[in-house]
Amino acid sequence: MGLWGKRDDMVVHGREPFNAEPPGTALDRTAVTPADTFYARNHGPVPRLDPAGWRLTVDGLVARPLLLTLAGLRSGFDATEATVTLQCADNRRADLTAVRAVPGETPWGPGALSTARFRGVRLADVLARAGLAPDAAHIAFHAPDVSPSADPPQPYEVSVPRDRALAPDVLLAWEMNGAPLPAVHGAPLRVVVPGWIGARSVKWLTRVTARATPSDGWFQATAYRLPPTASAPEGVTLGPLPLNCAVLTPRDGDVVPRGPVRVTGYALAGEGRTVARVEVSVDGGRAWSRAALEETAGPGVWQRWRTTLDLPAGDVHVLARAWDSSGAGMPRSPAAVWNPKGYVTTSWPRVLLRVR
Ligand SMILES: Nc1nc2c(c(=O)[nH]1)N[C@H]1C(S)=C(S)[C@@H](COP(=O)(O)O)O[C@H]1N2
Ligand SMILES: [Mo]
């Protein structure tokens, strides 16, 4: 077993803070990702919180501030369970760094996403108990892990707008795949915001604060933003995820034998949507064939796809593209979505296979 209970063949981008993604061959195997295979994205050292001494504070613009124990959360609210795909804004950054360097940021492959069954309570129920004030427009999530990469170094804190926080799919979860949350995934309690960048799903949650404005923490105000453009002079705070797809096996650069080759991958539509169609091309995008797509487990949950391609000898580029249930497709070129931090890659994936 590797670091933090992960499988030995994880692609480890950093040991401290611990950042790792599963290889495509492992991610591809099951619709729900086992805990030892689930990607890990951390900005600081993993805190070890004692579940017995842990408390959740709910404060800010509320009528009745709360101080909750884990037992109080479990017994005081209705528990619910959901299958959720988490995807980091860093997923597939390697495809952008191939266009132009993204200095200082890890070139994640297509494995910075995973799917689990989460069990917990609805954030909306907890906020209802506290009594949200009318001017509470944002809900901030605070954790004790101090990130040395933040400027200045500070604990992890981000927020989501009130409407998103109150939707019934946003959970405060203590269980993942039927077991207590592992330390590296946020024990004893984490936020789960389906369909939004993983950065909003705060681990090791200790405080929920209702505010009039977004969190002014570095991870909200500075990181996980797209820089200003002519049409968005303030920059854009990342929230909902766009449609994405990737090839998982074979891997980019693999040598494969001639003849039929099984190619697999995934597609993921954003919040509230499902994937309608995935297509694959081996001739640079002139001819396309439809891949077999796994049935959806619900909006925003990844769907795996597979196809068998008869490849000629030589170097072959496999391209993939997807459409979601609203009819939206993906931009072809990674250059079209390149940004200085390399966030939210959504262009057609392209892998090179050396057919011998
Ligand atoms: N407290 C805290 N929460 C956090 C982070 C963190 O560094 N600290 N990383 C965020 C990011 S960027 C992502 S993508 C997800 C990753 O969750 P995972 O490690 O369980 O896969 O957690 C989010 N929650
Ligand atoms: Mo992330």
Within the chain, all domains assigned CATH 3.90.420.10 are found at 3-237
pLDDT at 284 over 90: yes
pTM listed for this prediction: 0.97
Q: What is the pLDDT of residue 167?
A: 98
Our mutation pick for probing the ligand 1 site, out of 3, 6, 33, 42, counting the most ligand atoms within 8 A of Cβ, is: 42
Which tokens hold the place of 2?
A: 């590797």
Q: Which fold has domain 244-355?
A: Immunoglobulin-like (2.60.40)
**Cβ(109)–Cβ(38) below 8 Å:** no
Q: Give the number of whichever ligand sits closest to the CA of residue 147.
A: 1
Nearest-CA residue for ligand 1 atom 21 is 40
pLDDT band for position 103 (cuts 50, 70, 90): very high
Identify which of 108, 193, 203, 344 to mutate to test ligand 1's pocket (most ligand atoms within 8 A of the CB).
Answer: 203
Confirm or reject: Cβ of 201 under 6 Å from ligand 1.
yes
pLDDT for res 228:
86
Residue intervals of the chain classified under CATH 2.60.40.650 are 244-355
| Ligand 1 nearest-atom number relative to CA 191 | 24
| Distances 220 to 15, 158, 315, 337 between C-alpha atoms, Å | 24, 5, 43, 21
Span from the CA of 41 to the centroid of ligand 1 (angstroms): 5
Give the per-residue pLDDT at 148.
Answer: 93
Residue 202, ligand 1, Cβ within 6 A:
yes
Say yes or no: CB of residue 185 within 6 Å of ligand 1: yes
The verdict on the CB of residue 119 being under 6 Å from ligand 1 is no
Task: Supply the pLDDT for residue 115.
Answer: 98
- C-alpha 39 – ligand 2 centre gap (Å): 10
Taking residues 73-101, what's their average pLDDT?
Answer: 97
Residue-level pLDDT at 231: 86
| Residue 16 CB neighbour total at 10 angstroms | 11
Atom of ligand 1 nearest to the CA of 88: 14
pLDDT at 295: 95
Amino acid code (one letter) for 296: T
The per-residue pLDDT for 229 is 84
Whether 45 contacts 89, CB under 8 Å: no
Q: Are 169 and 124 in contact (CB under 8 A)?
A: no
- The answer for residues whose C-beta is within 8 angstroms of residue 152's C-beta and 6 or more apart is 218
**pLDDT the model gives residue 174:** 98
The full 3-state SS of the chain, as one line of letters, equals CCHHHCCCCCEEEEECCEEEECCHHHHCCCCCCCCCCCCECCCCCCCCCCCCCCCEEEEECECCCEEECHHHHHHHCCEEEEEEEEECCCCCHHHHHCCCCCCCCCCCCCCCEEEEEEEEEEHHHHHHHHCECCCCCEEEEEEEEEECCCCCCEEEEEEEEHHHHHCCCCEEEEEECCEECCHHHCCCCEEECCCEEHHHCCCCCCEEEEECCCCCCHHHHCCCEECCCCCCCCCEECCECCCEEEEEECCCCCEECCEEEEEEEEEECCCCCCEEEEEEECCCCCCCEECEECCCCCCCCCEEEEEEEEECCEEEEEEEEEEECCCCCCCCCHHHHCCCCCCCCCCCCEEEEEEC
pLDDT digits (tens, 9 = 90+) for 219-252: 999 999 988 888 888 889 999 999 999 999 999 9
Whole-number pLDDT of residue 270:
84
> Looking at residue 172, what is its pLDDT?
98
Q: What separation in Å is there between the alpha carbon of 222 and the centre of ligand 2?
A: 14
| Shortest-distance Cα residue to atom 6 of ligand 1 | 42
Mean pLDDT computed over 199-215 = 98
Predicted pLDDT at 234: 87
Protein residue with its CA nearest to atom 12 in ligand 1: 199
With beta carbons less than 8 A apart as the criterion, state whether 159 and 141 touch: yes
Distance 350 CA to ligand 1 centre (A): 27
Q: Is 307 in the pocket of ligand 1 (CB under 6 A)?
A: no
Please tell me if the CB atom of residue 176 comes closer than 6 angstroms to any atom of ligand 1.
no
Q: How far is CA 141 from the centre of its chain?
A: 17
Q: Residue 165's pLDDT is what?
A: 98
Contact status, residue 340 vs residue 285, Cβ threshold 8 Å: no
Q: Is 145 in the pocket of ligand 1 (CB under 6 A)?
A: yes
pLDDT of residue 232: 86
Ligand 1 mean position, distance from CA 42 (Å): 5
Q: What is the mean pLDDT of the chain?
A: 96
For ligand 1, atom 5, name the residue with the nearest CA: 42
- CATH number of this structure's domain 3-237, picked from the four choices 3.40.50.360, 3.90.420.10, 3.90.260.10, 3.90.550.10: 3.90.420.10
Q: Cα separations (Å) of 275 from 183, 185, 193, 254, 329?
A: 32, 27, 19, 27, 10
